């Protein structure tokens, strides 16, 4: 894969050590294309870094540069510095995340998002959780666990008082400040982007490595892959109805390309009406929905006053195919299909399938 424009010029390894509030560049790549290199942003235990997808590719390129790169001592000096910096940063990150060489397994974990909570529970790590936000109040398994503030505003003092070995946070703007403060205090923080279905698989693999439960994580991944495979086989010969999942009302929001809900719709044999919008959760207009004429509408609102009867009263919506056919579903718990965890696939996917292709359920009865 080739890099273009700003990507080519900004490929770098960045670290933000606890004693620094702002990341610093450990190395900056040459202003030339690096074959087979991809940019992957991650924040791991307080270390913010840009990493190349195939480290051997970049180090090989730097160790044996093209002839035109060797023309001046300055260029060769720059190559040498990048090579040393790249190896140094990879070794540091490897040690910090506890995957290669660090055998210390966290015993006291704080989770600042339900996506982590559900995944930790699914992997049998509930007893390690010592703090969660109020967004996880719906989880019976965590009723007795200490609350450390709101999802949008975690309580730093409370978190510190619980003496965590590790904190799981999100890239949500409300948590960025908390991540910076905790990192500055020397507390290890992991931030993992959770947008696509593939990100759920990545998280499970990483948790398996961090907590030394590779067998359990592999079993969970196998169950998830099996569920996806079964669902695809059931729908491969069926027609694909147009589906609209409303993730927000007033203003209207839905799931676009790159979101895990979009992935679920596709797997369950539907066509996401916002599938061409290259944003995970885009804001849309009523006119857009009317023009797409969805055949199935999903409203995961947990009993709020935005159900099917309210939807029918929206201006012009009575002419939508889903409304005419009575295919509006407001009986899906939002926690089942709006939180990226193993449960999304193991329990949410079958529920979504029932609503997109109810004929499959009737045939099996």
Q: How many Å apart are CA 358 and CA 365, to the nearest integer?
A: 11
In three-state form (DSSP H/G/I as H, E/B as E, the rest C), the secondary structure along 251-269 is CEEECCCCCHHHHHHHHCC
Token look-up 């709006």 returns 338
Answer yes or no: are the C-beta atoms of 81 and 106 closer than 8 Å.
no
Q: Which residues pair with 329 in a beta bridge?
A: 298
The alpha carbon of residue 296 and the mean position of all alpha carbons in its chain are separated, in whole angstroms, by: 26
pLDDT for res 286: 96
Among 167, 181, 209, CA closest to 45: 167
Rg, the chain, Cα only: 23
User: Which class for 203: exposed (0-12), middle (13-18), buried (19 or more C-beta within 10 A)?
Assistant: buried
Cis bond before residue 97 (omega within 30° of 0): no
Residue 193, both tokens: 């982007």
Tell me the domains of the chain and their CATH numbers. Answer: 5-96 (no CATH), 109-191 (3.40.50.1980), 237-364 (3.40.50.1980)
- Return mean pLDDT, the chain: 77
220-279 residue pLDDT tens: 999 999 999 999 999 999 999 999 999 988 899 999 998 999 999 999 999 999 999 999
Residue 34, both tokens: 């690096």
pLDDT for res 334: 82
Residue 364: pLDDT band (50, 70, 90) is low
Kindly report the pTM of this predicted structure. 0.70
Beta-sheet strands, E only, within 83-157: 109-111, 129-132, 146-147
80-91 residue pLDDT tens: 555 554 444 444
Answer yes or no: are the C-beta atoms of 53 and 7 closer than 8 Å.
no
Comparing 129-133, 149-153, 284-288, the range with the smallest average pLDDT is: 149-153
Q: What phi and psi, each to the nearest 5 degrees, are found at residue 189?
A: -130, 135
141-161 residue pLDDT tens: 999 999 999 988 999 999 999
Among 98, 107, 149, 114, CA closest to 129: 107
Residue 67, both tokens: 């002839």
């Amino acid at each position: 894969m080739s890099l273009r424009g700003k990507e080519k010029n900004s490929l770098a390894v960045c670290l933000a050590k606890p004693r620094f509030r702002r990341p610093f560049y450990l190395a900056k790549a040459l202003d030339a294309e690096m074959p087979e290199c991809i940019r992957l942003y991650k924040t791991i235990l307080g270390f913010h870094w840009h990493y190349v997808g195939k480290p051997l590719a970049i180090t090989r390129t730097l160790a044996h540069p093209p002839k035109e790169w060797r023309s001046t001592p300055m260029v060769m000096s720059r190559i040498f510095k990048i090579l040393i910096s790249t190896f140094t940063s990879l070794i540091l990150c490897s040690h910090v995340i506890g995957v290669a060489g660090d055998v210390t397994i966290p015993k006291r974990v704080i989770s600042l998002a339900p996506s982590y909570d559900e995944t930790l529970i699914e992997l049998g790590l509930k007893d390690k959780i010592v703090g969660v936000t109020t967004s996880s109040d719906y989880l019976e398994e965590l009723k007795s666990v200490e609350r450390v503030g709101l999802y949008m505003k975690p309580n730093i003092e409370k978190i510190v008082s619980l003496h965590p070995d590790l904190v799981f946070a999100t890239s949500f703007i409300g948590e960025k400040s908390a991540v910076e403060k905790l990192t500055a205090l020397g507390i290890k923080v992991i931030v993992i982007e959770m947008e696509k279905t593939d990100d759920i698989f990545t998280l499970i693999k990483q948790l398996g490595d961090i907590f030394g439960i590779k067998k359990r994580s592999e079993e969970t991944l196998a169950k998830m892959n099996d569920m996806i495979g079964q669902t695809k086989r059931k729908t491969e010969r069926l027609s694909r109805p147009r589906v609209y999942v409303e993730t927000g009302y007033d203003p209207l929001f839905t799931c676009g390309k790159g979101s895990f809900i979009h992935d679920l719709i596709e797997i369950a044999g539907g066509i996401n009406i916002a599938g061409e919008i290259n944003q995970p959760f885009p804001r849309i207009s009523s006119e857009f929905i009317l023009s797409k004429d969805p055949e199935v509408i999903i409203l995961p609102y947990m009993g709020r006053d935005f159900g099917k009867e309210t939807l029918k009263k929206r201006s012009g919506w009575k002419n939508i195919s889903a409304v005419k056919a009575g295919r509006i579903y407001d009986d899906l718990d939002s926690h089942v299909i709006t939180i990226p965890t193993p449960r999304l696939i193991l329990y949410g996917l079958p529920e979504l399938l029932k609503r997109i292709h109810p004929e499959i359920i009737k045939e099996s009865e």
